[in-house]
Amino acid sequence: MREAANVSGSLRARLALTLIGGAAGLAVLLFLVVRSYAAQIAQQGQDRILEASVTSILDAAVLRDGLVEVDFPYAAFSILSTDQDDRVFYAIHQDGTLLSGYDTLPQAEQTIGADVVHVSGDMRGSDVRIASASRTLVGADARTLVTVAVAQTQEALQVTLNRISLNVAYFGAGFFVLSVLVASWATSTTIRPLERLTNSITRRGPKDLTPVAQPVPLEMGPLVSSLNNFMARLSASLSQSEDFIAEAAHRVRTPLATVRSHAETTLQRVEREENRQALRSMVRAIDESSRAAGQLLDHAMITFRADHLERESLDLVALVQDLVIRLTPIAEMKDIALTVESDPEVMVAADSILLQNALRNLVDNALKYSPVESEIIIEVKSAPQPHVQVMDEGPGFPPDQIDRLATRFLRGDNATGTIGSGLGLTIAQDVAEAHGGDLQLDNRSEGGACVTFTV
Amino acid sequence: MKFLLVEDNHDLANAVCARLQMDGHVVDHADKIADASAFVDTGDYDLILLDIMLPDGDGRAFLKQHRAGKNDTPVIVLTARSQVSDRISMLDLGADDYMTKPFDHEELQARCRAVLRRNAGHAQPSVQLGDVMLDPVAGQLKVGTKVVTLRNRELRLLELLINAPGQIFSKAKLADRLFSYDEDVSENAIEVYIGRLRRHLEPSSLQITTLRGLGYRLDHA
Amino acid sequence: MRYIYCLILCFCPMLVGAQTWEDRSVFGASNPARTLRVLSSTDTSFFAPIIESFLQRQPGLAVEYFVISTAQIDEIFRAEPSEYDVVISSAMDLQLKLVNDGYGLPIANLSVPDWAQWRDSLYAFTSEPATVVVNRSAFPNGDVPRTRQELIQALRARPELFDGRVGTYDVRLSGLGYLFATQDARASESFWRLMEVIGGLNAKLYCCSGEMIEDLETGKLLVAYNVLGSYVDARETVSDQLEVILPSDFPTTMMRTAFVHVDTMLRGDAEAFVRHLVNVQSALPSPETFPLPRLTSNTDASGQSAITLEPALMTYLDPLKRRTFIKEWSDAVIQ
């Protein structure tokens, strides 16, 4: 009886996805942060060099005979050489008028005497970084402001940045891969207690409703505690209903027994035939209802147990002999002989309660249909398969119904007047099938029924 | 025979007592474990009929206590439960047999005989009338020195007649006692068993008289 | 011997009217589908075989080759850049500045050493040191000066002999002369002493190496400073009296460079031409196929390097810087 759960999503997948998603987010964030930091550092490097260039040019500016001379060193541009042969632009202004250099170079806003100012701009279609600074030159009778701006394209910087980006991307990818490994490890570690709990509950027997005692992680505490509570309630409810059924049976069967006893006694006292007939019917009705109730309960119990067979090793011969002892008093009442023909021992792995119930039903049936002073032979053999064969000298099965007789509540046509709910064969067949065997119905050539119960 | 019936339902107890007394048995009735223990201590019973659900405890407890006290009086459990596992646990606890309520009195008697037969060594109550002695437990009839083992129905028929010599039994009454209620037998089937008994009793001082239209009667010459 | 393949001047009245070329030649098919215009400072004689071998694999293409001084190249090209497809010049500084200003077209997959290119646009294809050329008759005992210092001492020793018979570039007129002078000045203080000595000897100033060599041959000059030795070597008849000296204190080596104009209409042909220049010199050419000195390692035996292709070359092109330098130079040479 395996009920599929209503499954929606996977805790493992959700956990793994969250961890991996987080790792991916972190990796991207790491990439962006490191890259932007690297860009900043690289930009600072370029700015320092541009600053040195500007400073060296500005330092060379002198006012001579009222004329500005800027005999700047070769190194002022030499230091701007890069692997990518970045282009260099510059402009020297005197009081806002271009002295030399590129007039199209964007002018940075300049405060006198301030430090070198760095801006980014565009020069002839290329992104450039511009450094500029000013200095006031004082001559004999004049003051003049000289402004120097040096710009450089950013191709080498871009190459450096790309290289750093690639390295950081590798690093981020490595971080991500490592995170995925850690995530899958963490996921399975986290899920494991859940799997252990599942296993321990799955392995339990059908009647094991004891609380889960093994230690579980804190987070599973409430679940296990609920589970334990639920099992405790279920256990209480089950034993309650068992008690209830027992009590109900007791309450019903005891008055029935009273009525039956009185009916029997009364039957010995009354003389009128119609009264006697009524009393007999009463007794028959009581027997019928009692037997039906018993078989229904038995059948329910068998249906339940068949899903969770409690197999044990048992001797089929001993089981049958015990059964014969129990049934001999009933057989004697009709002077029927119960004969067991068996191997010394037939061992099977089976549920003894189910087997007893099934075999008792078979022998009960045989007793019911056997004529007075006849014989019922019960054969127990281990070959070809362990089986019990019950043979009587009764009327046998109606040939046209022999295939359907084990169906629930069906009784043979010739069973009229015999008390029984018709569940006997059904019970026996269910038990045989639960054990991987079957129930075979035949009529004997010399007359009588032959039922073969194979385990 | 002397029975102890342990049963808390008085209606049922009365019915069972009446039925057993009708067959000439002596029955004491206890409606709880405490009383039952007292009866067992003082009286000597051939058989104890024990209900399981009792107001002051489980019949199984009594059974355990009974067996622990080395008392070997056979016990037949009368249970309202029909579950196989219950029956098995009864036997494990020392019951000699069990019956599910409601029960057939003929079957009860048959089981009683079977139980008593298995508990051999126990004093067997037998019935003596004239030169005939009947041991109902062993199912043996002794006429003078000749011993015959009766078939079950012959035994039950003779038991009925010998317990009430001179009393007239109608064919219908006898049939009701002899055949189960689901058997479809004619009253004339009784004549077969009467015939057999007559043959067994031929050498004795007992004879079964046929009263036409009334039934049969056992006469002691 | 001159390799003039097609006639001069007549076909392009517009250009003729606009410019006075030192030389102008058209190579290749007489009825060309395309004409590649090359602006160059190199004499046609040096380039003719190179253009010839190039055109062999370019059917339907003609090359129009304009020769003019380095300083004018810069001027002319900046004035009308769209008129020219390839620019070749020995003035590395001017070439570099043109490329820096965005006139150069990057050429992909042209394998040259890193020092021989700038921005994959400007490609060097010769290595030509500045030399001192002397008339041996002036140094009878074979004590030809090997360094600038020796030259200074020799000139000072006999001022009466050398007066008016020493020549060098007029840096005000020659782009290459200005490049050599500024690089010399940067390398050593002895340059200025030499200039003062030369100035004291009433030095003659020239616009071009060719004229200096001619005056050396005729005996008008006994010493010429910073002449392109390659021009001397290339002459068919050189007087035995002339000796080309590579100053051993420090050489100043120029690399002739070429670039493709970024907006050229003949991009494929122009690129192929520059590729051809680079490839033909690297394939161990004979003087017939490549009359110029091929590109040699950037660093010579003395550990001194050729003029580096770097933005610093623009330093002396700065007008303020140039003004200062010319003034100093004039003060030294023109006394």
Is the residue at A121 inside a domain?
A: yes
Residue A60 has pLDDT above 60, yes or no: yes
Nearest CA in chain B to A323: B88
* Strands lying side by side in the sheet with B146-149: B127-129, B132-135, B140-143, B146-149
Mean pLDDT of chain B: 84
Strands C166-169 and C242-245: unpaired
**pLDDT for residue A92:** 93
Residue among A250, A418, A419 minimizing CB distance to B80: A250
Supply the CATH number for residue A44's domain.
3.30.450
Type of residue found at C218 = T
Is the residue at A200 inside a domain?
A: no
Least confident residue range of A113-117, A118-122, C139-143, C303-307: C303-307
**pLDDT for residue C15:** 44
- d(CA A299, CA A427) in angstroms, rounded, equals 6
**pLDDT for residue A256:** 87
pLDDT, tens digit (0-9, with 9 covering 90-100), for A152-173: 999 999 998 899 889 989 988 9
pLDDT, tens digit (0-9, with 9 covering 90-100), for A95-151: 889 999 998 888 877 656 668 899 999 998 889 999 999 988 988 778 899 999 999
Domain residues for the domain of A389 are 311-454
CATH of domain C13-126+255-298: 3.40.190.10
- Kindly report the nearest CA distance between residue C120 and chain A, in angstroms: 9
Half-sphere exposure of C95 (CA within 13 A, CB side): 33
Q: Which helix (H) or strand (E) holds A289?
A: helix A273-307
SS3 A419: coil
Is the residue at A275 inside a domain?
A: no
Last residue of a domain, one of A118, A144, A162: A162
Give exposure, B124-150, as e/b (b: 16+ Cβ within 10 Å): beeeebeebbbbbbbbbbbbeeeeeeb
**pLDDT for residue C300:** 57
Does the distance separating the beta carbons of A261 and B16 come in below 8 Å? yes
**pLDDT for residue A309:** 76
For range C265-281, the mean pLDDT: 93
Residue among A76, A84, A89 minimizing CB distance to C315: A76
Residue C115 has pLDDT above 60, yes or no: yes
The CATH class of B127-220 is mainly alpha
- Kindly report the nearest CA distance between residue C183 and chain A, in angstroms: 10
- Residue A393 sits at the vertex; the CA angle it makes with A388 and A396, to the nearest 5 degrees, is 80
- Kindly report the nearest CA distance between residue A295 and chain B, in angstroms: 9
Residues of C in contact with A71 (CB under 8 A): 320-321, 324
**pLDDT for residue B156:** 87
Give DSSP secondary structure letters for C287-334.
Answer: TTT--SPBP--SB-TTS-BPPP-SGGGGGGGSHHHHHHHHHHHHHHH-
Total count of domains within chain A:
2
Q: How confident is the model at residue C6 (pLDDT cuts 50, 70, 90)?
A: very low
pLDDT above 70 covers what percent of chain C?
91
Q: How confident is the model at residue C331 (pLDDT cuts 50, 70, 90)?
A: very high
Residues of C in contact with A86 (CB under 8 A): 311
Q: How confident is the model at residue A413 (pLDDT cuts 50, 70, 90)?
A: low
For range B118-130, the mean pLDDT: 72
- d(CA A358, CA B180) in angstroms, rounded, equals 24
SS3 B53: strand
Chain B residues whose C-beta sits inside 8 Å of any chain A C-beta: 9, 11-12, 15-16, 18-19, 22, 53, 78, 80-85, 88, 97, 100-107, 110-111, 113-114, 151-153, 170, 172-173, 176-177, 180-184
**pLDDT for residue B87:** 66
Give exposure, C43-72, as e/b (b: 16+ Cβ within 10 Å): bbbbbbbbbeebbeebeebbbbbbbbbbbb
Residue C201 has pLDDT above 90, yes or no: yes
**pLDDT for residue C221:** 93
Q: Which helix (H) or strand (E) holds A63?
A: strand A61-64
Residue among A254, A264, A293 minimizing CB distance to B9: A254
Does the distance separating the beta carbons of C100 and A88 come in below 8 Å? yes
Does the distance separating the beta carbons of A298 and B82 come in below 8 Å? yes
Least confident residue range of A330-344, A427-441, B111-125, C36-50: B111-125
| Helix (H), strand (E), coil (C) string for B181-204 | CCCCCCCCHHHHHHHHHHHHHCCC
Does the distance separating the beta carbons of A76 and C320 come in below 8 Å? no
- d(CA B52, CA B168) in angstroms, rounded, equals 39
Does the distance separating the beta carbons of A286 and B100 come in below 8 Å? no
Does the distance separating the beta carbons of B15 and A258 come in below 8 Å? yes
Report the complex ipTM: 0.88
pLDDT, tens digit (0-9, with 9 covering 90-100), for A294-308: 777 777 777 777 766
For range C300-327, the mean pLDDT: 85
How far is the CA of B156 from the CAs of A279, B115, B126, B138, in angstroms?
A: 21, 16, 14, 12
Does the distance separating the beta carbons of A100 and C320 come in below 8 Å? yes
Determine the residue among A247, A259, A260, A280 to mutate to test chain B binding: the one whose Cβ has the most chain B Cβ atoms within 10 Å.
A260
Least confident residue range of A36-45, A309-318, A409-418: A409-418
Q: Chains A and C: how many Cβ contacts under 8 Å? A: 61
- d(CA C36, CA B29) in angstroms, rounded, equals 139
Give DSSP secondary structure letters for B129-143.
Answer: ETTEEEETTTTEEEE
Does the distance separating the beta carbons of A74 and C315 come in below 8 Å? yes
Determine the residue among A65, A71, A83, A122 to mutate to test chain C binding: the one whose Cβ has the most chain C Cβ atoms within 10 Å.
A71
Does the distance separating the beta carbons of A353 and B102 come in below 8 Å? no
Does the distance separating the beta carbons of B84 and A298 come in below 8 Å? yes
**pLDDT for residue B91:** 76
* Total Cβ atoms within 10 A of residue A436: 11
- The structure's pTM equals 0.61
pLDDT, tens digit (0-9, with 9 covering 90-100), for A436-449: 888 988 898 888 89
Domain boundaries, chain B: 2-118, 127-220
Nearest CA in chain A to B108: A329
**pLDDT for residue B58:** 82
Q: How confident is the model at residue C94 (pLDDT cuts 50, 70, 90)?
A: very high
For range C154-176, the mean pLDDT: 93
Positive or negative, the CA dihedral A327, A329, A335, A337 is: positive
Is the residue at A367 inside a domain?
A: yes
For range C119-128, the mean pLDDT: 93
Is the residue at A51 inside a domain?
A: yes
Residues of A in contact with B15 (CB under 8 A): 257-258, 261-262, 265
How far is the CA of C53 from the CAs of A62, A299, C273, C282, in angstroms?
A: 54, 110, 10, 14
How far is the CA of B167 from the CAs of A272, B130, B208, C155, in angstroms?
A: 18, 16, 11, 183
- Kindly report the nearest CA distance between residue A38 and chain C, in angstroms: 25
The CATH class of B2-118 is alpha beta
Does the distance separating the beta carbons of A77 and C314 come in below 8 Å? yes
Supply the CATH number for residue A358's domain.
3.30.565.10
Structure tokens at C318: 């700065």
- Kindly report the nearest CA distance between residue C322 and chain A, in angstroms: 9
Is the residue at A96 inside a domain?
A: yes
- Kindly report the nearest CA distance between residue A276 and chain B, in angstroms: 9
| Cis amide leading into C319 (omega within 30) | no
Structure tokens at C193: 């002493």
Residue B80 has pLDDT above 60, yes or no: yes
Cβ burial of A86 (10 Å; 0-12, 13-18, 19+) is buried
Residue among B83, B101, B107 minimizing CB distance to A301: B83
Last residue of a domain, one of A162, A181, A209: A162
Least confident residue range of A123-132, C78-87, C104-113, C301-310: C301-310
For range A411-427, the mean pLDDT: 62
SS3 B58: strand
Residues of C in contact with A69 (CB under 8 A): 320, 323-324
CATH 3.40.190.10 maps onto chain C at 13-126+255-298, 129-253+313-333
Type of residue found at A432 = A
Give DSSP secondary structure letters for A120-186.
Answer: EEEETTEEEEEEEEEEEEE-SS-EEEEEEEEEEE-HHHHHHHHHHHHHHHHHHHHHHHHHHHHHHHH
Does the distance separating the beta carbons of B170 and A271 come in below 8 Å? yes
Cα C226 to chain centroid, rounded: 11
SS3 A443: strand
- Kindly report the nearest CA distance between residue A411 and chain B, in angstroms: 15
SS3 B159: helix
Q: Chains A and B: how many Cβ contacts under 8 Å? A: 130
Half-sphere exposure of A255 (CA within 13 A, CB side): 6
Superfamily of domain C129-253+313-333 in the CATH hierarchy: Periplasmic binding protein-like II (3.40.190.10)
Least confident residue range of A259-263, A343-347, B52-56, C233-237: C233-237
What angle, rounded to 10 degrees, do the helices at B152-163 and B189-201 form? 70
Type of residue found at C311 = P
Residues of A in contact with C313 (CB under 8 A): 77
Nearest one of C250, C290, C225 to C50, comparing CA atoms:
C290
Residue B187 has pLDDT above 80, yes or no: no
For range C297-314, the mean pLDDT: 76
- d(CA A241, CA A244) in angstroms, rounded, equals 5
- d(CA B221, CA B208) in angstroms, rounded, equals 11
pLDDT, tens digit (0-9, with 9 covering 90-100), for C290-301: 888 888 876 655
Nearest one of A320, A358, A325 to A341, comparing CA atoms:
A320
How far is the CA of C200 from the CAs of A95, A192, B191, in angstroms?
A: 40, 100, 178
How far is the CA of A204 from the CAs of A76, A191, A310, in angstroms?
A: 87, 21, 12
